[in-house]
């Protein structure tokens, strides 16, 4: 409280301690007049005068700002969404203006702290709805509230909350799991594809499950029943996205085996042709023979599921590949439902769906499977192709999610041989160690014709010196 207010309060108290007080032309006892004078002085000074039973006066706060309720630390807010800012007051300040500011919390001490004025509101309000504009940079922030002069901050969020950009995680409903039964499920897709890194930002996965940092696959054997809510975080370069999900784990049935389904074939590397039949084989445990099995594929780029059909649970069926399916790479899956619980399994690797016209007229000779190439070494890629093809495209296709595709050359003379230093693709991207299929393509056809090596070869890191 400033010195002028303190002096005013002291003068008012001295006046009220007199036996009589003159109000206008009327001489009244001070305890009769304390309410009118005390309230008037209190409104101006921000305090309330209170008379005790002896007629003496004390001071107390008439009203004040107590605390910010939310956001108060740990919240995750997307640009374009609505943030509810709430605070707690005591008493009534008569509509005194309050400033609401967004204050940045830099990761690096040398970076400046930035302040953005969100709004000015009257103290009669207890909350404010703010749509986070796209002019706000992603990062960590706190909410700060002060009176209009902002001589001092009334309160600030206890801990930072996060604002993130339009890079986002798409919706996904994770299937239920069972205590003691193996659980494996791919992560949700993101709005931007790339070299992502996954983690759990808030909450926790069901005990027994973990997430792979590289591809985001959630897997393990659940040990505890319950409903588990968690927030997944995915990083792509400098961008991060967050989304909340829930996995429900049911108790294991004591009188029956854990239901499961296992895909035997296809299991990765197969080529299916549009309009033709695809052979499917599988095994089940604890699944009634009367249950129908849903067969489908999931596009590894878009994450979209497409259904091949409903199959009898006999372990061996042929499903037609519809002509309406887009060509590309897919993960195959089989699933069924038992008492509302989804039981599913995915192929270990991708299946390629092609049109009849995309059958290979090119043949990859080497590498054709099981070769080991060290990063930094020089290797020769060989193929055979009709002489009518003047140029070819050479690429390698990853065999582990997210199935990176690196182009090694896109204008190579069709002479049957190309020497490559194992390091980067034509766009300057570093080649990551892993298992790959060699692909040689004819860029002059629509759709493109290509051939893949018969089996994966390995790219290994350079040994340390």
Helices (H) and strands (E) in the chain, counts: 2, 38
> b vs e for 443-461, b when ≥16 Cβ sit within 10 Å of the residue's Cβ?
eeeeeebbbbbeebbebee
Distance, CA of 59 to CA of 233 (rounded, Å) = 52
Which of 35-39, 118-122, 360-364, 394-398 has the least mean pLDDT? 35-39
Angstrom CA distances, 241 to 14, 83, 449, stand at 62, 17, 37
Beta strand residue intervals within 126-269, DSSP E:
127-131, 139-147, 153-156, 161-164, 177-178, 183-185, 197-203, 209-211, 218-220, 226-236, 239-250, 260-265
108 exposure class (CB count in 10 Å sphere: 0-12, 13-18, 19+): exposed
pLDDT above 70: residue 338: yes
- Give, for 10, the enclosing helix (H) or strand (E): helix 3-16
- Judge contact between 77 and 203, C-beta under 8 A: no
pLDDT above 80: residue 151: no
pLDDT at 424: 93
pLDDT above 50: residue 48: no
- Residue-wise pLDDT tens digits, 186-234: 888 776 556 788 999 999 999 999 998 888 889 999 999 999 999 999 8
- Residue-wise pLDDT tens digits, 63-88: 467 789 999 998 878 788 899 999 88
- Read off the pLDDT of each residue in 327-353 and give the average, rounded to a whole number: 90
pLDDT band (50, 70, 90) for residue 448 = low
Pairing of strands 417-421, 434-442: unpaired
Half-sphere exposure of 55 (CA within 13 A, CB side): 12
CB neighbours of residue 74 within 10 Å: 14
CB neighbours of residue 334 within 10 Å: 25
- Give, for 138, the enclosing helix (H) or strand (E): none
Using only C-alpha atoms, the chain has a radius of gyration, in whole angstroms, of: 35
- Of 401, 402, 414, 400, nearest to 451 by C-alpha is 414
pLDDT above 70: residue 33: no
Distance, CA of 456 to CA of 269 (rounded, Å) = 9
Distance, CA of 38 to CA of 60 (rounded, Å) = 11
DSSP, residue by residue, 49-98: EEE-TTS-EEEEES-EEEEEEES-SS-EEETTSEEEEEEEEES--SS-EE
Half-sphere exposure of 330 (CA within 13 A, CB side): 25
Distance, CA of 414 to CA of 389 (rounded, Å) = 7
- Residue-wise pLDDT tens digits, 378-401: 999 999 988 767 788 999 999 887
Phi, psi of 13 (to 5 degrees): -70, -40
Q: Which domains does the chain have, with CATH numbers?
A: 3-62 (no CATH), 65-164 (2.60.40.3720), 177-250 (2.60.40.10), 260-354 (2.60.40.10), 360-460 (2.60.40.10)
């Amino acid at each position: 409280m400033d010195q002028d207010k303190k002096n005013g309060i002291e003068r008012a108290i001295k006046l009220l301690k007199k036996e009589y007080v003159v109000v206008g032309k009327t001489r009244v006892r001070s305890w009769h007049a304390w309410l009118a004078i005390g309230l008037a002085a209190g409104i101006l000074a921000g305090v309330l005068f209170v008379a005790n039973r002896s007629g003496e006066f004390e001071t107390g706060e008439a009203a004040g700002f107590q605390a910010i309720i939310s956001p108060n630390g740990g919240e995750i807010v997307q640009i374009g969404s609505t943030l509810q800012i709430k605070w707690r007051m005591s008493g009534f300040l008569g509509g005194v203006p309050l400033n609401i500011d967004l204050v940045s919390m830099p990761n690096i001490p040398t970076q400046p702290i930035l302040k953005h004025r969100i709004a000015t509101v009257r103290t009669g309000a207890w909350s404010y709805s703010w749509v986070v504009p796209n002019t706000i940079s992603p990062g960590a922030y706190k909410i700060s509230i002060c009176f209009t002069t902002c001589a001092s901050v009334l309160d600030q969020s206890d801990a930072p909350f996060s604002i993130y950009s339009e890079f986002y995680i798409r919706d996904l409903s994770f299937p239920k799991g069972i205590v003691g039964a193996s659980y494996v499920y791919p992560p949700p897709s993101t709005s931007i594809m790339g070299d992502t890194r996954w983690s759990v930002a808030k909450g926790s996965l069901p005990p027994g499950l973990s997430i792979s940092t590289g591809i985001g696959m959630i897997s393990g054997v659940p040990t505890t029943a319950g409903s588990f809510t968690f927030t997944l975080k995915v990083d792509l370069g400098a961008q991060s996205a967050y989304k909340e999900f829930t996995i429900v784990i049911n108790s294991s049935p004591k009188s029956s085996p854990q239901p499961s389904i296992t895909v035997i074939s296809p299991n990765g590397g197969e080529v299916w042709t549009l309009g033709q039949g695809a052979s499917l084989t599988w095994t089940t445990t604890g699944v009634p023979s009367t249950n129908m099995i849903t067969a489908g594929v999931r596009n590894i780029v878009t994450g979209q599921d497409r259904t091949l059909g409903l199959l009898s649970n006999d372990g061996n069926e042929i499903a037609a590949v519809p002509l309406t399916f887009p060509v590309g790479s897919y993960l195959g899956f089989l699933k069924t439902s038992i008492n509302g619980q989804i039981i599913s399994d995915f192929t270990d690797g991708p299946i390629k769906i092609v049109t009849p016209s995309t059958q290979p007229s090119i043949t990859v000779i080497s590498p054709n499977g099981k070769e080991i190439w060290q990063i930094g070494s020089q290797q020769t890629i060989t193929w055979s192709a009709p002489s009518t093809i003047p140029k070819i495209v050479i690429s390698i296709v990853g065999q582990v999610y997210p199935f990176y595709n690196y182009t090694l050359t896109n204008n190579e003379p069709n002479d049957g041989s190309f020497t490559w230093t194992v390091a980067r693709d034509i766009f300057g991207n570093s080649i990551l160690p892993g298992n790959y299929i060699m692909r040689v393509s004819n860029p002059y056809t629509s759709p493109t014709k290509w051939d893949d090596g018969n089996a994966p070869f390995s790219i290994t890191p350079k040994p340390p010196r």
